[in-house]
Amino acid sequence: MNFSLTKEQELFQQMIRDFAENEVKPIAAEVDEQERFPAETVEKMGKIGILGIPIPKQYGGAGGDNLMYSIAVEELSAVCGTTGVIVSAHTSLCAAPILEHGTEEQKQKYLPKLASGEWLGAFGLTEPNAGTDAAGQQTTAIEDGDNYIINGSKIFITNAGYAHVYVIFAMTDRSKGTRGITAFIIEKDTPGFSFGKKEKKMGIRGSATCELIFENCVLPKTNMLGKLNKGFGIAMKTLDGGRIGIAAQALGIAQGAIDETVKYVKERKQFGRAISAFQNTQFQLADMNTKTEASRMLVRKAAYKKDNKIAYSVDAAMAKLYAAETAMEVTNKAVQLHGGYGYTREYPIERMMRDAKITEIYEGTSEVQKMVISANMLK
């Protein structure tokens, strides 16, 4: 049993921290305020390999692992939740399923450009009537010679519009329910594929969240990801991995809020002394830090298991459930410790609280995580 990072992971963490501090933190407030997608950060991340961390070198990736990837999402999210989810959706929800389920040709075609950041990735499963009940897919893919004709729409798609590659799901056999869903890879400029309205969100406001619209969109059969009618399994497996990313995002947001709060309570004086001298502050900080550290252990355990090819689905669900709820609780307390200043946009704390909330919702709500965890206990 070893709870220490390796030297390689420590060096990596140091690099990511420097990058987050120098390239991401300075624009985080502006990106939120303007609801601006930070394309320049994406380019910089691509250049040094942050967009291809767990992709093997043979496909142009960095050849790192999921633990490193979770560290990256954590450190980026500590200063900017938006940047954290851009990396998470790109890596876990687009590059990972292509790596795991793609043909050699698909891997050669997509992974090098995804790893370098030339192409950003996205994932489309959710529909207006298929949220938590992902099996209720309305989007259809009808076979037509060497092609499939896709019709339907997807909503709340992270990175939509900026991403070039989309892993999407459609019904190929409606009579079979979840066993009639197939995954496809679709590129941005495909005729019949367009984008709908951009959502106005509470948090992670710099990340692009849009509708995907398919109107008689013709897709060659070679764009099918995995086997016919095996899409639901691919989606669920992909979301297992995605939960490590979102758990790491939640963890980072919590840690970022703690870092800001520790700085603030030492400076802020009331009743003639720093508010860090009050036991209420000390006890709140102790709770915040303990839960955040517990989240980190869960995130790293899930990543470790994935890296070592041990079943990690329940671990990822626990990590996401606990880290997301911790992020919400910690940022809420952090705003309270900041008092009135914490409620203003002069400080990053209110942004962190808004960013935290989504981690309890997307890539499986907290309730879904509880279903996954308890189902495993009661089977």
Give catalytic residues, as residue numbers. Answer: 363
165-171/147-158 β-pairing: unpaired
Which residues are near other proteins by CB under 8 A? 6-8, 11-12, 14-15, 18-19, 48-50, 52-53, 57, 61-64, 68, 72
- Under 8 Å between Cβ of 214 and 251: no
Taking the C-alpha atoms of residue 347 and residue 131, their distance in angstroms, rounded to an integer, is 34
165-171/121-124 β-pairing: parallel
- Give, as one character, the DSSP assignment of residue 309: T
* Residue (61 or 152) nearer to other proteins, CB: 61
* Residue (65 or 355) nearer to other proteins, CB: 65
Tokens (6 digits) for 106:
């698909």
CA dihedral 139, 195, 363, 69 (to 10 degrees): 130
Taking the C-alpha atoms of residue 253 and residue 248, their distance in angstroms, rounded to an integer, is 9
* Residue (61 or 364) nearer to other proteins, CB: 61
Q: Which residues contact 312 (CB under 8 A, 6 or more apart)?
A: 240, 244, 302, 305, 306
Nearest to 246 by CA among 113, 110, 357: 357
Min separation Cβ 15 and other proteins, Å:
5
Min separation Cβ 57 and other proteins, Å:
7
E strands, the chain, are 121-124, 140-144, 147-158, 165-171, 181-187, 193-198, 209-220, 224-225, 269-270, 273-274
The count of other CB atoms within 10 Å of the CB of residue 330 is 31
Min separation Cβ 327 and other proteins, Å:
25
Three-state DSSP class for 339? helix
Min separation Cβ 279 and other proteins, Å:
25
Burial of 349 (0-12, 13-18, 19+ CB in 10 A): buried
State which amino acid sits at residue 90. H
Nearest to 226 by CA among 63, 107, 61: 107
- Under 8 Å between Cβ of 243 and 360: no
Min separation Cβ 19 and other proteins, Å:
6
* Residue (85 or 87) nearer to other proteins, CB: 87
Min separation Cβ 188 and other proteins, Å:
25
Taking the C-alpha atoms of residue 253 and residue 194, their distance in angstroms, rounded to an integer, is 32
* Residue (6 or 132) nearer to other proteins, CB: 6
Min separation Cβ 256 and other proteins, Å:
19
Three-state DSSP class for 217? strand
